[in-house]
Structure 1
């Protein structure tokens, strides 16, 4: 089984969150850094494989999201 995608994600996560850091003061600080990084990876970070677009921008080229919600019946 190929786990290249997971390895790429982990390498990017480590490279972009550690940046010379030796550690965090506590577990909460480490978790906060991780959860601050995730939205950037999913929504803003550009991927060469997606034509330098974020995953959300790439997805929206195929399935545009509505600007407003549909009214419930």
Structure 2
């Protein structure tokens, strides 16, 4: 179905396995910690929840790899 709609399957630019691992990690956080794995009633609700999750990930959630700072604070 993805190919028919001309959507790339890989989550990376170069189809590199290590980049896929990073994308899978971020997707796991979004699903497991920020509840983006649920079923939504409509696209508007999904977009609102996704926007909130991204904000939490970048502005609120402390990251061990960033010495317990947020990505927006570091970058």
TM-score normalised by the chain length of structure 2: 0.64
CA distance in 2 between counterparts of 1:31 and 1:39 reads 12
Greater radius of gyration (CA) = 1
Task: Extract structure 1 runs of 4+ deviating beyond 4 A.
Answer: none
Aligned residues: 58
5+ unaligned residues in a row in structure 1: which ranges?
60-73
TM-score normalised by the chain length of structure 1: 0.66
5+ unaligned residues in a row in structure 2: which ranges?
1-15
CA distance in 1 between counterparts of 2:54 and 2:71 reads 12
CA RMSD of aligned residues (A): 1.9
